[in-house]
Amino acid sequence: MKQDDILADIFSEYNPTLYDDAEFMKALNTKLEAVEYIKQYNHAQIRRSRYMVVAALVMGIVVGVVSTAYLLLFAGTGPVINISVDSSVLMFIIEHSRAISLMIIAIFMVYAIIGLINAYQEISTYFYSRKNRVIGGRATIDNN
């Protein structure tokens, strides 16, 4: 215990001079402002990408449904569109309108699926970051 007293005395007298407090706080405030700016920027980016994902999803579903319904209304193997024109390009489009429509549907459906996957990832990331939010541990800087 005597030794403990010696250590207690040594540490009770421990009062080293530090670099200027005001300078330290000024440097810290500058960094906090930078962090705040990055946080706001990231939040804005995330919000924007979420809106885009939702828009892509809605657009994909709407176009997919409308195109499928349109194709179903014109069952059979003939062209979907029938316009009497002389242009060879338009004639080609009319002749292959069924295949072109299917391709467009496929593209929008793929777009919708990508949107769905992104939405799922966004949601799971959100729940994961909420679950792991901390507590002062190592490697806990939330990049969001």
Q: Using CB under 8 A as the criterion, which residues of the chain lie in contact with other proteins when the complex forms?
A: 3-4, 6-8, 10-12, 14-19, 21, 24-25, 27-29, 31-32, 35-36, 133-138, 140-142
d(CA 122, CA 75): 39
Task: Kindly state the smallest distance separating residue 43's Cβ from other proteins, in Å.
Answer: 12
Neighbour tally for 61: CB within 10 Å: 16
- Calculate the alpha carbon distances from 21 to 16, 27, 34 in Å: 13, 10, 20
The smaller minimum CB distance to other proteins, of residues 11 and 69, is found at: 11
The smaller minimum CB distance to other proteins, of residues 12 and 82, is found at: 12
Task: Kindly state the smallest distance separating residue 129's Cβ from other proteins, in Å.
Answer: 10
Neighbour tally for 142: CB within 10 Å: 11
The smaller minimum CB distance to other proteins, of residues 121 and 144, is found at: 144
The CA-based diameter of the chain, rounded to the nearest angstrom, is 109
